Structure 1
């Protein structure tokens, strides 16, 4: 494995050594509902993930050979690919690896909530990388939706799955329109907003919930909802991040405001 890009921000505040991880676990994992791992190996993988040491988190997570370790590895690789990789071919390869690992993990342990979620997340990001139109043609949308539905069947308060389902509805409508989207894929603007709103209820302090809601509004309504989207970006940019992923989220929101 080639050396990955380093986390580009100060990670001193994201050190969850020892009991700190347990103390902050509920807040750190409010979005993905990941259960507390009892083994030290998986805990160390999550510590590496939260401080932005994504490559080490993948290595530790896979070495742990546990469900939680695998989830840590998959989340670390997906977040790294989302934010810290510019090369599109590399992005696609990383997301494909996660999707494959998560699919196997979900089959081996059907009750592993985040195996289903990480499968959907990686497929969704891969679909964005190849274009939503190609993803629809290849049937990836249906696979993504099935994994998200399974996630919420197991964990109805999985906020990140609600965010992803909001994006699922929004991006299909953005590509094929409301009528075709409704008739062919069963998507709607109302459902998209409902999923985003539910995520906001579940994780009210989250930057990513606001960012994805803003993205969805712009995809669905364009400039008609730009004021609402801007307010969401502003609120996301003002959040105080608790870990590396949240820092990357906040920086993304700030960049959207600068671009505007």
Structure 2
């Protein structure tokens, strides 16, 4: 099954490792079709780490499917599920990735000072980097860190980037690593384009156009991927019709 990625200010919804216990094919099908309530109901009573990480993923997909900043309660529920997965199985890869995403989404409306004091940005980064230390070919950890680096630069400026150890070179390295592993992933291309457009749509126009074209041309097999592909189309139209300033504003609002 193809996995799915979504990103926010450093957030990427990571692919699903199929749960080993208590996970029905119907739950996976419901998730892929965008019927998140049904998918969540079918995994609610499964006590294993895989299923709790899957529940976190379902909740985060539901959050991203909406427009604007997701409700805090929904993000907190996702974080709680990811923490349950890690309590059951410390070091669980999917649990760590979903926790990183939840933390990043929670941090979205916060100021850079609030994020720094809470330690959320650094914790999200550390979770993704720990995954890569064990699994260097994890495409979605690379995708997460590509966007994380750009968002730190955008929100924190050069000083914030220095403090957090972020750079555009690191962002590009992670994006290129993700592309080499999975060249036709619409979500990875969309999130890279969105992050660059939010940073500076005029300066990075060529890279943005290339990534958007790749996102639009990539095959999709889930409701969430289709949503992101539609957003890629709309951002491309905004660039072409309304110009970089309008596209940049749009990129900072969408997920």
Does the TM-score normalized on the shorter chain lie above 0.5? yes
The 1:217/1:28 distance shift into structure 2, 3 A limit, reads: closer
Equivalent-residue separation in structure 1 for 2:103 and 2:18 (angstroms)? 26
Please list every run of 5 or more consecutive structure 2 residues that lacks an aligned counterpart in the other structure: 6-12, 240-255
C-alpha RMSD of matched pairs (Å):
2.3
The normalised TM-score by structure 1 is 0.80
Per-residue CA distance 1:86-138 (angstroms, 9 max, x = gap): 4x4x5222112111221232132024210000000111112123355532332
Please list every run of 5 or more consecutive structure 1 residues that lacks an aligned counterpart in the other structure: 1-24
Aligned to 1:107, what secondary structure does the other structure show? helix
Q: Residues 1-260 of structure 1 correspond to what in structure 2 (within 5 A)?
A: 25=1, 27-28=2-3, 32=14, 34-39=16-21, 41-86=23-68, 88=69, 91-182=71-162, 184-260=163-239
Higher RCO (C-alpha 8 Å, min separation 6):
2
Equivalent-residue separation in structure 2 for 1:222 and 1:258 (angstroms)? 13
Aligned to 1:205, what secondary structure does the other structure show? coil
The normalised TM-score by structure 2 is 0.81
Equivalent-residue separation in structure 2 for 1:101 and 1:239 (angstroms)? 31
Contact 2:97 2:128 in 1 (8 A): yes
Q: How many residues align structurally? A: 232
Equivalent-residue separation in structure 2 for 1:108 and 1:72 (angstroms)? 13
